[in-house]
Amino acid sequence: MKTMTCSQLGGPCDLAHQGETADDVINAQDRHLKEAEKAGDATHQAARDAMKSRWRHPKKAMGWYRDTKQAFAELPEG
């Protein structure tokens, strides 16, 4: 298991997400951003919009995924 925080994934807070793969933490961040939006948390809105546009434009988002997967791969285990 590795841990990435909301802020490491482009968000504004330090909530930690744990996962076996980069996709796990990306999905956890997506859920976190959706919940923040539902709760009316304006501080997460920019990150939420960026994530939404990544789902809509996966080709343009390739660089972000690559960087995030790279950052995840470089994290220590645990």
User: Which one among 3, 8, 13, 45 touches Zn ion, defined by CB under 5 A?
Assistant: 13
Give the side-chain half-sphere CA count within 13 A for 23.
Answer: 0
List binders of Zn ion among 52-71 (CB under 5 A).
none
Return the range that interacts with Zn ion (CB under 5 A); candidates 11-19, 20-28, 55-63, 66-74.
11-19
Closest CB to Zn ion among residues 15, 61:
15
Cβ neighbors of 70 (< 8 A, separation 6 or more) are none
Site residues, Zn ion (CB under 5 A): 6, 11, 13, 15
